[in-house]
Amino acid sequence: MKILVVDDNSSITELLAMYFKKKGHDCITTNDGKEGLSLCMNNKFDAIILDLAMPEFTGKDFLDSLIQEGKIEQQKIIVLTAMPLGNVKIEDHRHGICEVLPKPCKLDVLMKTLESLTVAA
């Protein structure tokens, strides 16, 4: 599986990159939302893990840009965020977002979520 991780916290991106590579997956990371969007637009990923609360160019900006470009429905996005989501359900989100997971998230839960995306493909 080819995975893109977009999160402004370098500790998180480094940890996830090591974990996914150890599990045999390709993982590209960035700590910048605009760079993540560029990577997403110019490459094909099996899944994208996206933080919402990033400075300057947020996860919402990332999603809005994909919507504007007509590319949101081609993506399989897992939102991984520490933001309080209250009663937010996946159905409340636009197409392209497959799951919303709170931080901290157990790595095995994240891995199972990613695997379920490839099974559903």
User: What is the structure's pLDDT at 104?
Assistant: 87
Instruction: Please give the average per-residue pLDDT across 101-113, as a whole number.
Output: 91
pLDDT digits (tens, 9 = 90+) for 3-20: 999 999 999 999 999 999
Asked if residue 36 lies in contact with residue 30, where contact means CB atoms within 8 angstroms, the answer is yes
pLDDT digits (tens, 9 = 90+) for 37-80: 999 999 999 999 999 889 999 888 998 899 899 888 888 999 98
Report the Cα 73 to chain-centroid distance in Å: 14
Q: Is the dihedral of CA 82, 17, 49, 117 positive or negative?
A: negative
Check whether 35 has a pLDDT greater than 90.
yes
Q: How far apart are CA 89 and CA 85, in angstroms?
A: 9
- Look at residue 1 and give its three-state secondary structure: coil
Q: Which domains are assigned to the chain?
A: 2-114 (3.40.50.2300)
The pTM of this model reads 0.89
